[in-house]
Chains A and B, each alone.
Chain A
Amino acid sequence: MAQITLDKLAHSYLPNPKSDADFALKQIDYVWEDGGAYALLGPSGCGKTTLLNIISGLLLPSKGNVLFDTADVTHLSPEQRNIAQVFQFPVIYDTMTVEQNLAFPLINRGVEKHEVKKRVSEMLEILDLTDKARRRARGLSADEKQKISLGRGLVRYDVNAILFDEPLTVIDPHMKWQLRTQLKELHEQFNHTMIYVTHDQTEALTFADKVVVMYEGEVVQIGTPEQLFDEPEHTFVGYFIGSPGMNILPGSVSGNTVNMADHSFSLDRHYEPISGTTEIGIRPEFIHVADAASAGANGMPLHVKAVENIGRHKIVRGSVNGHNVDAVIQEDANVPAEAFAVIDTARLNVYSNSHLVRGSR
């Protein structure tokens, strides 16, 4: 187990990168704490897999260094770095049994026979695969195969980190839950440093203590799931996290008064004058749909276009003065014929040129 330091790391797939745009991964400095569960979240092409491959040693960065604790491992190969990786599609050794698959990395490292046996049977127990130990791995289901790939990493006890590259892609929804929970429990049990790459916000948020949101080769925010939900530092984070994503509306702020969609609200906090394009962000969860009687002064007339009942709750898709607004209401709530959107002003965020601006109380 180790703390992983990314020191002025950057990567370009071009031999002679000139401008910023040539970099698939723009400069990043960050310390992954020992024993932490991290997620790298972003759309495809954002550089998250590039970063993962640099950490695992499959890719040599164009610039900067990777440190495991205090040792510089930038030029070390994956096997020398002593890490484990689980890939998008399950990688198993077809001709071997489940047992032999788990023993493989140990035997390759010259671990003693009885020790191999002990660890493998332990790992089979942990992964719930004891009854399939002597089956050929190729006949197993996708989720079982993924467990084996994970087991091949865990069985080595001392791995510096376990890296996951969209490991649940080929798994059915029901099994996803089981595998994810098991992963979480394993993390709590062994305290390995884990880095999980995904484009799926649910997977990232539920798995990780800290989520690194990436966009266009850049880290736009690193934070706990709560921070990403409550105070997205970039409008992209607001849009990308949450479903539906945050409502972003053009507006303006002066002092403690905010104006959006031709409505003004007073806030419990004070803003300095803002330069650049000002936008107001409010999550659909914090918009209350009310009728005329209960809306009060803060209600904005909401033109409802559609209501989607998704079982757990309903999503109201509508517009306020021509601006699209989504709201989330409870599963048994109704949308009144004459609807008003009431905003929880305490949960409203202000953005200048897409970046969060914090007010003072």
Chain B
Amino acid sequence: MTSARELIFFEVTQNRLILHSISLPNIGKFKQHTMLELDSVSKKVGASLHINNISLTLEKGSLNVLLGPTLSGKTSLMRLMAGLDAPTSGDIRVDGQRVTGKSVKQRNVAMVYQQFINYPAMSVYENIASPLRLKGESKSDIDKKVREAAELMKLTEFLDRTPLNLSGGQQQRTALARALVKQAELVLLDEPLANLDYKLREELRVELPRLFAETGAVFVYATTEPHEALLLGGRTATLYEGSITQFDTTIDVYNSPVNLQTAQTFSDPPLNTISVRLQAGAMRNDTASFGALIASDKRVPDGQYTLAFRPHHVSLTQSPTHSVAVQATVGTSEITGSETYIHVNCAGAHWVALTHGVQRVNNGNDITLYLNPARFYLFNASDGSLQHAPSFNTEVA
């Protein structure tokens, strides 16, 4: 694939914006692929359960996203994977070999954190070379690999500088280059782009997974942002209060969340929800009617449900797809230039409507929203489990 061998960087330094476009050379020969298994792993710290019975299998050469809010256990889980912490119970296996309790040093792991962590007293060159020096590689090998990685990360001109004299983006790229030369079997990235500029983040986010995919490592990326998970692709595990609620292909988790919790974790802007009663195929609550439930393979019995749909499935104009009309009151609206976010109050629920183009609506006015029933989710009112999901066209060229 050509795209995997091409890397684009936008670099925003103190005084310049530089666009780099380079192609990827091979960094030596890569090791045998590995696989990471977590078997009913739990981690307790004092009385609080940080990780609650997680079982996961991460495939060789795969990209895995851990998506969850702050304190949901992403970092704790990564520390367990890395071997920085030992689980309270459960096993961790690499290629079927038990590594639980093995120290980080004995395992070939690379980790990059949200904070830019480099050796402050060493030059960028020495920073990148450090894992190779530990391995005891020959001087010429080290020099070759460091220069290749630096070239790849566009750090060649900064090799003699110390990290603190670099911009945030350059510092983080130094950390990434160090992780790259290590040719680790397991690469853990803990919100690596969170402290970078929005635009720089956007560029790196696209190129980063491709870069590491080349190494054939098991690649784990933690983030709080649904948007980031979608851009990265691969597979996503959604975390909530120390448990994994779902683990599947990213777009499938997004399209068919197993429960309301997962759907909410994986929605930005937040998912719109309302409590409804399903009776004879029609959904309504005390004040509004939400039309008929579109039939699917699975029959949904009558009863109380949580109706949910995403903000971009709301329209201000009626169309064959957007056929369910509901009355709402405008709270406030935000215009981004290409889209308008309208915050509304509908039958006691706070919703966001993400509409195309510039829509001018007055605060406090009543408006009619048109919902797309083909995009409705129904969740069980008591346990939040998915009862009905829309069918999506997920084909990718």
Q: Scan residues 239-277 of chain B and give those whose CB is less than 8 A from a CB of chain A.
A: 251, 254-255, 264, 268-270
- A311 located at the interface, meaning its Cβ lies under 8 Å from any Cβ of chain B in the complex: yes
B-chain residues with CB within 8 Å of residue A200 when the two chains form the complex: 198
B-chain residues with CB within 8 Å of residue A225 when the two chains form the complex: 335-337
Contact A305 B397 (CB under 8 A): no
A-chain residues with CB within 8 Å of residue B3 when the two chains form the complex: 305-306, 317
A-chain residues with CB within 8 Å of residue B165 when the two chains form the complex: none
Contact B199 A181 (CB under 8 A): no
- B145 located at the interface, meaning its Cβ lies under 8 Å from any Cβ of chain A in the complex: no
Q: Scan residues 53-70 of chain B and give those whose CB is less than 8 A from a CB of chain A.
A: 69-70
Q: Scan residues 186-205 of chain B and give those whose CB is less than 8 A from a CB of chain A.
A: 197-200, 202
Q: How far is the CB of B354 from chain A (nearest CB, A)?
A: 8
Q: Scan residues 1-49 of chain B and give those whose CB is less than 8 A from a CB of chain A.
A: 2-3, 8, 10, 12-17
- A334 located at the interface, meaning its Cβ lies under 8 Å from any Cβ of chain B in the complex: yes
Interface size class of A (residues with CB under 8 A): 35 or more
B-chain residues with CB within 8 Å of residue A334 when the two chains form the complex: 393, 395, 397
Quick one: which of B2, B69, B338, B358 contacts A172, CB cutoff 8 A?
B69
Q: Scan residues 296-332 of chain A and give those whose CB is less than 8 A from a CB of chain B.
A: 304-312, 314, 317, 324, 331-332
- B332 located at the interface, meaning its Cβ lies under 8 Å from any Cβ of chain A in the complex: yes
Q: How far is the CA of A241 from the CA of B338 in the complex (A)?
A: 10
Question: A181-B343, A229-B337, A308-B233 are contacts. A45–B251 as well, Cβ < 8 Å?
Answer: no
When A and B form their complex, which 3 residue pairs have the shortest distance between CB atoms, in order from nearest? A229-B337, A206-B334, A225-B337
Quick one: which of A43, A230, A305 contacts B2, CB cutoff 8 A?
A305
Q: How far is the CA of A44 from the CA of B12 in the complex (A)?
A: 8
- B107 located at the interface, meaning its Cβ lies under 8 Å from any Cβ of chain A in the complex: no
Q: How far is the CA of A349 from the CA of B360 in the complex (A)?
A: 25
- A351 located at the interface, meaning its Cβ lies under 8 Å from any Cβ of chain B in the complex: no
- B238 located at the interface, meaning its Cβ lies under 8 Å from any Cβ of chain A in the complex: no
Contact B396 A307 (CB under 8 A): yes
- A38 located at the interface, meaning its Cβ lies under 8 Å from any Cβ of chain B in the complex: no
- B151 located at the interface, meaning its Cβ lies under 8 Å from any Cβ of chain A in the complex: no
Q: How far is the CA of A285 from the CA of B336 in the complex (A)?
A: 14
B-chain residues with CB within 8 Å of residue A30 when the two chains form the complex: none
A-chain residues with CB within 8 Å of residue B219 when the two chains form the complex: none
Contact sample, A vs B, 11 pairs, CB 8 Å cutoff: A44-B167, A173-B224, A177-B269, A181-B331, A184-B334, A226-B335, A311-B226, A311-B230, A311-B310, A334-B397, A337-B397
Contact A174 B231 (CB under 8 A): no
Q: How far is the CB of B64 from chain A (nearest CB, A)?
A: 17
- B291 located at the interface, meaning its Cβ lies under 8 Å from any Cβ of chain A in the complex: no
- A21 located at the interface, meaning its Cβ lies under 8 Å from any Cβ of chain B in the complex: yes
Q: How far is the CB of B394 from chain A (nearest CB, A)?
A: 7
Interface size class of B (residues with CB under 8 A): 35 or more
- A33 located at the interface, meaning its Cβ lies under 8 Å from any Cβ of chain B in the complex: no
User: Nearest B residue to A183 by beta-carbon distance?
Assistant: B332
Contact A241 B168 (CB under 8 A): no
Q: How far is the CA of A344 from the CA of B181 in the complex (A)?
A: 45
- B366 located at the interface, meaning its Cβ lies under 8 Å from any Cβ of chain A in the complex: no
Q: How far is the CA of A200 from the CA of B224 in the complex (A)?
A: 16
User: Nearest A residue to B358 by beta-carbon distance?
Assistant: A226
A-chain residues with CB within 8 Å of residue B15 when the two chains form the complex: 21, 45, 216
B-chain residues with CB within 8 Å of residue A227 when the two chains form the complex: 337
Contact B393 A332 (CB under 8 A): yes
User: Nearest B residue to A203 by beta-carbon distance?
Assistant: B198
Interface string of A284-300 (1 = CB under 8 A from B): 01000000000000000
Interface string of B341-359 (1 = CB under 8 A from A): 1010000000010100010
Interface string of A185-203 (1 = CB under 8 A from B): 1001000000000011110
Question: A172-B224, A216-B16 are contacts. A188–B332 as well, Cβ < 8 Å?
Answer: yes
Q: How far is the CB of B360 from chain A (nearest CB, A)?
A: 11
User: Nearest B residue to A312 by beta-carbon distance?
Assistant: B312
18 additional contacts, CB 8 Å, given A44-B168, A172-B224, A205-B336? A45-B12, A173-B69, A173-B225, A174-B69, A180-B334, A181-B343, A201-B336, A205-B335, A206-B336, A207-B334, A229-B338, A239-B199, A244-B202, A304-B397, A309-B396, A310-B231, A311-B251, A311-B310
Contact A43 B197 (CB under 8 A): yes
B-chain residues with CB within 8 Å of residue A324 when the two chains form the complex: 8
- B227 located at the interface, meaning its Cβ lies under 8 Å from any Cβ of chain A in the complex: yes
- B363 located at the interface, meaning its Cβ lies under 8 Å from any Cβ of chain A in the complex: yes
Contact B224 A181 (CB under 8 A): no
Q: How far is the CB of A96 from chain B (nearest CB, A)?
A: 25
Q: How far is the CB of B172 from chain A (nearest CB, A)?
A: 12
- A253 located at the interface, meaning its Cβ lies under 8 Å from any Cβ of chain B in the complex: no
Contact B363 A242 (CB under 8 A): no
Q: How far is the CB of A300 from chain B (nearest CB, A)?
A: 17
Contact B338 A184 (CB under 8 A): no
Contact A43 B199 (CB under 8 A): yes
Q: How far is the CB of B397 from chain A (nearest CB, A)?
A: 4
- A340 located at the interface, meaning its Cβ lies under 8 Å from any Cβ of chain B in the complex: no
Question: A45-B14, A337-B397 are contacts. A242–B197 as well, Cβ < 8 Å?
Answer: no
Q: Scan residues 153-187 of chain B and give those whose CB is less than 8 A from a CB of chain A.
A: 167-168
Q: How far is the CA of A28 from the CA of B200 in the complex (A)?
A: 26
User: Nearest B residue to A289 by beta-carbon distance?
Assistant: B397
Contact A206 B341 (CB under 8 A): yes
Q: How far is the CB of A55 from chain B (nearest CB, A)?
A: 22
Q: How far is the CA of A172 from the CA of B331 in the complex (A)?
A: 22
Interface string of A207-250 (1 = CB under 8 A from B): 10000000110000000111111100000100111111100000
- A335 located at the interface, meaning its Cβ lies under 8 Å from any Cβ of chain B in the complex: yes
A-chain residues with CB within 8 Å of residue B230 when the two chains form the complex: 308-311
Quick one: which of B199, B231, B334, B352 contacts A245, CB cutoff 8 A?
B199
B-chain residues with CB within 8 Å of residue A172 when the two chains form the complex: 69-70, 224
Contact B224 A177 (CB under 8 A): no
Q: How far is the CA of A227 from the CA of B335 in the complex (A)?
A: 11
Q: How far is the CB of B8 from chain A (nearest CB, A)?
A: 8
User: Nearest B residue to A328 by beta-carbon distance?
Assistant: B338
Question: A181-B331, A199-B198 are contacts. A307–B336 as well, Cβ < 8 Å?
Answer: no
Contact A308 B231 (CB under 8 A): yes
Q: How far is the CA of A311 from the CA of B309 in the complex (A)?
A: 13
Q: How far is the CA of A289 from the CA of B172 in the complex (A)?
A: 36
A-chain residues with CB within 8 Å of residue B335 when the two chains form the complex: 205-206, 224-226
Contact A215 B337 (CB under 8 A): no
Q: Scan residues 256-274 of chain A and give those whose CB is less than 8 A from a CB of chain B.
A: none
A-chain residues with CB within 8 Å of residue B270 when the two chains form the complex: 174, 177
Q: How far is the CA of A225 from the CA of B227 in the complex (A)?
A: 21
A-chain residues with CB within 8 Å of residue B70 when the two chains form the complex: 142, 172
Q: How far is the CA of A308 from the CA of B167 in the complex (A)?
A: 29
